[in-house]
Structures are given as structure tokens and as C-alpha cells.
Structure 1
């Protein structure tokens, strides 16, 4: 069965809680030694309200919303995003993806990160292509 998408369709949202422990681990795995991501007192000395979620982690979560929502027959060809505000852990975040264009085997999706306060902290666009010959 082939699933087709049209402009306005929404993928299932991805809910995520960013924790200080996760940020510490993400810093270690990505070799990112910047202390604002794992040392709260240092982050506050630098003018932040706590440990800061990595921009790349936030982008990965938004893309996870896309890849989990579309499944293995689709792949991300390109992505662009902009952070509108910092996020401090712990933080409850919801990532959404909405189809803005659908043509043949290509989709364009609007990506949004929404904070529990309702504010948008991240916005972007993902361009995805249907993979030929993919199996489920």
C-alpha cells in the first residue's frame, strides 16, 4: 500500500525531555567540550539560565520526528534550520513536521520545536525523497 502526502499533512509529533545528564552524554559523544552544555554553574556565569541544549541535538530531534514519521522508504536530502531561542535543561519539547509541498516522490516539510510554554524555539525545513527499491 502506497501512502501519499499532500500539503497540510502533519507527521506524528515527537515529544522529548532534554535533561542535564543527556547533555553531558551528548557532549562526550560529539567531543564538544564547551562547559555551557554540562556545567550549570559555568553556564550561569556565562549568562545562561542553566545548561544549554546543543543546537545539533535539537536539529537531530527535529529530524527524528521526520524519519520516524515517514518511515524507512524516505530519506532526508537536505535540511535548513534556525534557532530562535536557547533551551535550558531540563526542558519538555515537542517537535512537529508539516508537509508544505508534495510532488511525485519529494516532500518539503516545515519543522517546529515548541516549548512547554508554547513558544517556538526552533524552525526549519526538511526536503525528503522517497527511496526507490526500499523495503519496509
Structure 2
């Protein structure tokens, strides 16, 4: 079964606004008690410009761009990323994914988190495979 994506193809961007309330909730569901993610006064005392978006939340948003963009029938096999700068809530972010390799039923995608200023705050790579026997 051949794939319908080619090198250079871009998935639809995912726009997201990270809010302090979302960070509080994400901290709760991930059992992350670090106060920089939900206590603004504490985060500022620690040298931050506000409450800090979780690195794992940012990775999940980038992967959401991939899973929503590819649709059913694909699964993420591996992901690697690095943060280039912290992000403070509230923050308007755009996640993009671009196909950098397409072979058989596998894709490699470049992941980017872009800020309204044009700065890149997060970059990574996702490797995805077509699910065997998948229906779309």
C-alpha cells in the first residue's frame, strides 16, 4: 500500500492558546507539582516571566498537529524534540509538521512550534507509520 504524502508536504497547522488554567489542569492530571506551572508569583520569583508551559504539553500539541493532520490509519512510532526557549502563558502558538522523508508506508516529519513574534520555541522530529489493515 503506497502512501499519499511526499517530501515537502505540510500538514494543516494547529493553532493553540496556552492559558494559565490549562497549565493548572495539566499539572494536576500529570501529577506535576512544580509551582512554576501554576503559581505565577512563585514562577516570577524563580526568574521566569510568568507561568511556564510544560515541555510535555508542548510536545503533545506538536504531536496533535501530526495525528490530526494525518488522520486515522497512522501511528507515531518515535518522536524526538528539544525546546529552544521557554513559553509563558497566556501564549498563542502555532504547530506545523512538514514531511522530510516518505518511504513505503513511513513518514518522517519536522515539527515546529512558532510564536507570534516569528521565533521558534520548539523543534523536533516525528516518525510515523501507516497502520497495517487500517481503514480511513
Contact in 1 for aligned 2:97/2:112 (Cα 8 Å): yes
Deviation at 1:135, TM superposition (A): 1.8
Normalising to structure 1: TM-score of the pair? 0.98
**SS of equivalent to 1:44:** helix
Contact in 1 for aligned 2:2/2:104 (Cα 8 Å): no
Deviation at 1:72, TM superposition (A): 1.1
**SS of equivalent to 1:24:** helix
State the distance in 2 between where 1:110 and 1:122 align: 11
Deviation at 1:2, TM superposition (A): 7.2
State the distance in 1 between where 2:99 and 2:70 align: 11
What pairs up with 1:53-132 in 2 under 5 angstroms? 53-132=53-132
With over 3 angstroms needed to count, the CA separation of the structure-2 counterparts of 1:101 and 1:3, relative to structure 1, is closer
State the distance in 2 between where 1:90 and 1:128 align: 31
Residue deviations 1:52-75, cap 9 Å, x none? Answer: 000000000000000000011110
User: Over aligned residues, Cα RMSD in angstroms?
Assistant: 1.2
State the distance in 2 between where 1:2 and 1:132 align: 12
Residue deviations 1:24-60, cap 9 Å, x none? Answer: 0000000000000000000000000000000000000
State the distance in 1 between where 2:63 and 2:23 align: 18
| Consecutive unaligned residues in structure 1, runs of 5 or more | none
Deviation at 1:21, TM superposition (A): 0.2
State the distance in 1 between where 2:79 and 2:116 align: 24
State the distance in 2 between where 1:25 and 1:59 align: 16
